[in-house]
Amino acid sequence: MRLLLDTHTFLWASADDRRLSDSARGLIEDPTNTVYLSVVSAWEIAIKFARGRIPELTASPESYVPARVSDYSMEILPMLMPHAFRVAHLPHVHRDPFDRMLIAQAQVEGLPVVTSDTNIARYDVQVIW
């Protein structure tokens, strides 16, 4: 199975946070799955880290994120032009630009999103939690 992680899902999995559902944890840790982290999430983490909004992140994003990606054998999903253009066709359900970009990527790539965010489920995308 191919999966795209929402930013909070990545952070919770990396920190072994109890808010991560058992099913999400199982899918992320299953070596038969291909788990993607979008560069959009890395961008969001960097911005939130710079603003002091991720206090549990003690290492810099440029060292923390690649290390966790490696730990979980994740794949990086780049932001491509078709992803960017897809955002223009999304209904205005969710105001968060990072989530809108992740939704667009999920739609273009045919990936389910692993997230607890119920707003994402309001789009034409499969949500797993």
Name residue 12's amino acid: W
Please give the pLDDT value at position 109.
98
Residue 109 and residue 71 in contact, taking contact as beta carbons nearer than 8 Å: no
List, in sequence order, every beta strand (DSSP E) within 25-68: 34-38
Q: Which CATH superfamily is domain 2-128 in?
A: 5'-nuclease (3.40.50.1010)
All residues at 6 or more sequence positions from 47 whose CB lies less than 8 Å from its CB, including other chains: none
SS3 state of residue 113 = strand
Task: Say what the pTM is.
Answer: 0.95
Q: Are 114 and 75 in contact (CB under 8 A)?
A: no
Residue 80: band (very low, low, confident or very high) from pLDDT cuts 50, 70, 90: very high
Domain limits, the chain:
2-128
29-76 pLDDT, tens digit each: 999 999 999 999 999 999 999 999 998 887 899 999 999 999 999 999
**How many whole angstroms separate alpha carbon 119 and alpha carbon 24?**
17
| 81 pLDDT above the threshold of 90 | yes
* pLDDT in the model for residue 54: 92
Query: pLDDT tens, 95-126?
Result: 899 999 999 999 999 999 999 999 999 999 99
Closest by CA to 6, choosing from 76, 103, 83, is 103
